[in-house]
Amino acid sequence: MKDLDRELIEVLKFLPGWQLDPANRDNTWYSAIMDGTGRGIYFNAVRMRGRLYLSGRFNDNCRPEHCEHISVSRNRPARAIAADIQRRFLPWYLEAFAAQEVAIKAEEAAVERRSRVKKELTELLGDANASVNVCRDGETVSIDVRWIPVKVAKAMFKAYNQAMKSAQERSP
């Protein structure tokens, strides 16, 4: 067991619900603790001599704009280090992690909406020579239709123009 893990085991006695992350056992330059809900804190002891540098674990696809971190002296008692974590780091981190979870759920809902819209429009097109790209907002699309008869294209454009006029008349 590396020295940093030994130190963290002592700190964890004062951080109920947190435990060493076994996935980081073999890493030589940092350790991590986790709380069993996906939240975790990285401890880097190499970055600053005599200090522990703490940063939060976040989903790589959805990180806060500004990631906070703190550093604490390794010479302080475990109880004092735990108190610093609870007072200086956890309030920000727990709030940022909760915001990340909300953002991830919103992105998952947007992905689902884009998928539904694409499926619906693809089924309506019913043509192998057409493709639909749903934009990020799920409210606009790009449709690529190729090699259709001119008669069909004219009917599509006429219907398109009528639908756009109708939509503009309804909008404030």
Closest CA to 10 of 31, 24, 29, 26: 31
Separation CA 28–CA 59 (nearest Å): 23
pLDDT at 112 over 90: yes
Q: How confident is the model at residue 73 (pLDDT cuts 50, 70, 90)?
A: very high
Q: What residues have CB less than 8 Å from 120, skipping those under 6 apart?
A: none
Tell me the per-residue pLDDT of 117-141, one tens digit each, with 9 for 90 and over: 999 998 888 866 888 899 987 889 9
Q: What is the pLDDT of residue 68?
A: 85
The rounded distance, in Å, linking the Cα atoms of 131 and 124 is: 11
What's the rounded Cα separation, in Å, for the pair 166 and 10? 69
pLDDT of residue 158: 96
Instruction: Evaluate if residue 66 carries a pLDDT over 90.
Output: no
With a cut of 80, say whether residue 44 has pLDDT above it. Answer: yes
Average pLDDT over residues 149-155: 92
Q: Residue 77: pLDDT above 60?
A: yes
User: Is residue 48 very low, low, confident or very high in pLDDT (cuts 50, 70, 90)?
Assistant: low
Mean pLDDT, the chain, integer = 89
Better-predicted residue by pLDDT, 28 or 42: 42
